[in-house]
A = this chain, B = another copy of it.
């Protein structure tokens, strides 16, 4: 039994993916294009692109939201950074993996290089995503609990799988691609809330692409990077792993169906709170000056990952459940606009943040929350969110996703080009190549 080879053969041999996989690939592409174009305006993105421009390269590959053309590896890195910078990407709910940010950029780089058609690119992404989600599930919760950022560690393996599929690797070379990628698995949670967090997705995308390219040139690695004695499971998840989650029912069960798209541009564990606050705000017409207290009762991860009562920057605010709840009450939303430095410094929101608290209960799952708002007149209003919007049980509709796309892309490219790009992405399975998509995605 060699689980790495099982995965490699699945990725190499899969034919005619089911509509649920192709549709997932298209929806995540719409989402990743929107958030990446929006993120290209951020100062950290501009620094990364400035560095890539100075590196120079044969101009083979598109950087989203930029006029830079560069090498496939460097393009994959920049695009990975853009896709994860604003924490507005997708989430595999069982594991909190964000699969698109590492996998899509690696697949786009390989697909542009090889002139792959739309269906080939969508299929390769779906297979890479499936590998990342299953590898993540096979080490959850032990791996994340140790302190690993699962998006970096399993993302690089999914990125190699997706890029390797486009490059047409055979099973032996796919095993090498997964091996070269898997031994580079990295990214720790200590850097959450800094530029180094999206760097995990950047490097997973670039290293995953590079691993596939190296394997195609004949470089080798271990025969079983996942299950070997000193492999991924043993070293990066010593407290436990679940082999069945990785290899059982490949091609019949699709773990990618457990991936969801975010309605809010921040850490996913506070999404149920934002749903609840916005619901109560809208139902009762609440204004900030009426609120004495906002209390959320939910999973301990809310406090473990997002307890920042006094965030200083917009990025900090994305990891503050207090800010997320306060901004949701004041603005009724959690888009990028709610996570600017100015919005975090706003005195009305800051005052309201100090009135937000959480009571944690391990019996309450991550997707659920009870929100109670106490008003200054003594009244209490409360609500129960069973499944956050954007979760697999309560997915964004295509219409809501299109609205998110326009909200993020129109300020950068204007409504006409936003519509064109959305239209091309929504019909990608019929495209002969990715040229039109990438021309519209670049600046």
Interface, chain A (partner B; CB < 8 A): 44, 47-48, 50-51, 54-58, 71-74, 146-149, 152, 179-180, 182-192, 194-196, 199-200, 203, 207, 210, 213-214, 217-222, 224-225, 228-232, 234-236, 238
* A176 CB, min distance to chain B CBs, angstroms: 8
Q: Which residues of B contact A48 (CB under 8 A)?
A: 214, 219
Q: Sample 6 A-B pairs with CB under 8 A, ordered by A number.
A: A47-B218, A147-B234, A147-B235, A179-B196, A180-B191, A190-B225
The complex places the Cα of A48 from the Cα of B220 at a distance, in Å, of: 12
The complex places the Cα of A313 from the Cα of B66 at a distance, in Å, of: 46
Quick one: given A214-B51, A238-B146, are A195 and B183 in contact (CB under 8 Å)?
Answer: no
* A383 CB, min distance to chain B CBs, angstroms: 33
Docked-complex contact B71 and A148, CB < 8 angstroms: no
Quick one: given A148-B235, A195-B221, A200-B183, are A229 and B56 in contact (CB under 8 Å)?
Answer: no
Docked-complex contact B230 and A147, CB < 8 angstroms: yes
Our pick among B196, B218, B225 for the contact of A221 (Cβ within 8 Å) is: B196
Q: Which residues of B contact A229 (CB under 8 A)?
A: 147, 190
Our pick among B54, B147, B219, B231 for the contact of A188 (Cβ within 8 Å) is: B231
What is the oligomeric copy number?
Answer: 2
Q: Which 6 residue pairs are nearest across A and B when measured between Cβ atoms?
A: A56-B58, A147-B235, A147-B230, A186-B186, A196-B221, A189-B230
Our pick among B47, B50, B213, B236 for the contact of A51 (Cβ within 8 Å) is: B213
The complex places the Cα of A58 from the Cα of B51 at a distance, in Å, of: 12
4 additional A-B pairs beyond A190-B231, A190-B234, A191-B225, beta carbons within 8 Å, are A47-B219, A179-B191, A180-B195, A194-B222
Docked-complex contact B57 and A228, CB < 8 angstroms: no
* A109 CB, min distance to chain B CBs, angstroms: 11
Our pick among B58, B195, B221, B234 for the contact of A194 (Cβ within 8 Å) is: B221
Our pick among B179, B207, B217, B218 for the contact of A203 (Cβ within 8 Å) is: B207
